[in-house]
A and B are shown apart, each in its own frame.
Chain A
Amino acid sequence: MTLSRRNVLKIGGAAAALPLLGQKAFSQTEPLKVGFIYIGTINDNGWNYAHNQGRLYMEQELGDAVESVFVENVAEGPDCERVMRELVQAGCKLIFATSFGYGDYVIKIAQQFPDVKFEHATGYQRSENVATYNARFYEGRAVCGTLAGHLSKTGKAGYIGSFPIPEVVMGVNAFVLAARKVNPDFTITPVYISTWNDPAREADAARAMIDQGIDVIAQHTDGPAALQVAEERGIVGGFGQGADMSAFAPKAQLTSIIDNWGPHYAATAKAVIDGTWESKDSWPGLKEGEVVIGDYNESIPDDVVAAAEAVKNGQIDGSMHIFTGPINDHTGAEKVAAGVTLTDADLLSMDWYVEGVIPPA
């Protein structure tokens, strides 16, 4: 072929069309790009670790159909908006924002990118392309509370929390409601340390509790620090939060509440690929396997394990709900009448303590 003008045009035209062709052929198998933002690092053995395990599960389940990226240590503030914008610009069509404080920014950025789907963990604000998801951790707390009611010698538990948000208050309440079904005099003292990640402070909070007669410690913060103090001091025990922490406290970890986000992430990504995604709030729990109770410590007597399993199975088959009345608030006044169960909306805005909680100032 001689290099005439016509031929050059032909070849040039074909060459110019090639990428188009490729793109078309490619678009059928182009993977869905999914972005994740984490408030801490994936090595925290708790909250962020669990979300990252969920991401890996999603990749494994969906194979070549998805591709994922994640950003760690994204602060709850204006900076998370920048990070999400960059993820969108990098081609993400689905973004999981995995901390409560991202909420306002998710709503804001979702308006600017209507073709991108956003999923906000533990949030309450939804829009056209923003869905929320959470797990019913309080169901796991009820199982832990049952163990505490049976095993505690002093009848006093402590609860290390970060901030008194509904998610945490709900956990405190579920724990003590379950414990008081076993021991009607059981009390729980929540201590808020105003941070999600300061292990030395968690450890000091645990010391302050143990020195004042508390022998079971539950926590809503992410690390194993409090459990390690429980192990060191030889109290009845505590619970792994987010993941199994028995490596840190083989004697003190009574059981653990394991966050299992994988199935939700895989199902959501699949829905986006299939075009069936819609904005909704999903809040699965023990039944769906999104909240898992870990192994029970070998030292726990069989009848106590059976009692805990009964509470677990009751919540799985729906025969039991920990927030079914009669429930009194911490002053002793009736808050929920007998036979009435709190709705999800009640739970998600919970700002009062049940009887048995020694409320903080």
Chain B
Amino acid sequence: MTIGLLIAVTMTLIVASTPILIAALGELVVERAGVLNLGVEGMMLIGAVTGFITMFTTGNPWLAVLVAAIAGLLSSLIFGFLTLSLSANQTATGLALTIFGTGFSALAGQSYSAMPVSLFRSVFPAELTTHPYLRVLFGYSPLVYFSLIMVVVVWWFLKRTRGGLILRAVGENDLSAHSIGYPVRAIRYGAIAFGGAMAGIAGACFPLLLTPQWAEGMTAGRGWIAVALVVFASWRPFRLLAGAYLFGLVMTMELYAKAGGGPLTAIPSELWAAMPYLATIAVLVLISIRRDASTNAPACLGKPFLPSN
């Protein structure tokens, strides 16, 4: 493999992983607060369609990302209201949100299917973005740098700030946090809203970063990969980054191997397709063997908050 090809593979895999990484970071914060939101796929589609429509009508990618974030946030608040204020079952509500998002985005995007937009391109000067080597550092859309910055921000928030400590406390033991006076519902609303905004931005990556068009259901299950990745990463941001790029590497290598005709083509495509999931199972087994508390799920994950007073 030549250097040029190595750089090309790296760039494709980083771009392909970016929406999964952004959505998974949002879901990680939500789950750390003790809430399981399975609506990621639906919120991503809502973000994708609103981002596309904004890009199409205004041509401003920054605005498109902002609108997608707001749309994702608003849709997540439906989930928040049902599960936090009405104590509805989180699993069922999350699935309903995915179904709603799929249908809503199809309806909203109906008249936008035959229309191209332009991509959200790198803001660096062309000498850097087209340089044969430096492009591996500078050749990306701002969305890619955003995803990497957010890994650090989420890690720092959860690990190093008081707010992060309280959020984790709410996720580990909501009744205790409640009894010492923390507003459990408000904190969880905040986490869900953040997760929704991130899912919306992740959705906007599809028309702005990957393929500049709107197609129904264009996220094609990547929201579910994001949910799985959070478990894969045992709820830690840097492991999440590694996991997202590993997923991206496997998905990308499959295509490069098939298109390039090297020795890797001997691996059947079914095995390629199964690899990320085999890796997930392997990691889950490792987690359950190690049994050390820090790798386990937040103790209150998915349970409704029902204080007695």
Contacts and interface: CB of A to CB of B under 8 A. Distances in A.
Contacts of B212: 228
A248 B260 CA distance: 26
B50 interface: no
Given A43-B114, A200-B220, A212-B5, A205 B259 contact: yes
Given A44-B216, A204-B12, A361 B268 contact: yes
A224 B255 contact: no
B241 interface: no
Interface stretch (A103-111, A127-135, A189-197, A275-283): A189-197
A211 B261 contact: no
B87 interface: no
> Which of A40, A44, A197, A201 has the most C-beta atoms of chain B within 10 angstroms of its own C-beta?
A201
A212 B5 CA distance: 7
A204 B5 contact: no
Interface in B181-219: 206, 210-213, 215-219
Contacts of A211: 5, 8-9, 12, 256
B114 A208 contact: no
A35 interface: no
Contacts, number: 113
Given A189-B258, A358-B261, A360-B269, A199 B114 contact: no
Q: How large is the interface on A (under 10, 10 to 19, 20 to 34, 35 or more residues)?
A: 35 or more
Interface in A222-240: 223-225, 228-229, 232
Contact of B206 (A195, A200, A361): A200
A248 B115 CA distance: 7
A189 B259 contact: yes
Given A200-B16, A211-B8, A232-B119, A191 B259 contact: yes
A247 interface: yes
A201 B220 CA distance: 9
A237 to B, nearest CB: 16
B216 A223 contact: no
B266 A203 contact: no
A199 B211 contact: yes
Interface in A173-199: 189, 191-195, 197-199
A158 B115 CA distance: 25
Nearest to B271: A361
A282 to B, nearest CB: 29
Interface in B95-152: 106, 109-110, 113-116, 119
A202 interface: yes
8 contacts: A191-B258, A191-B259, A193-B255, A194-B269, A205-B259, A223-B211, A228-B212, A361-B268
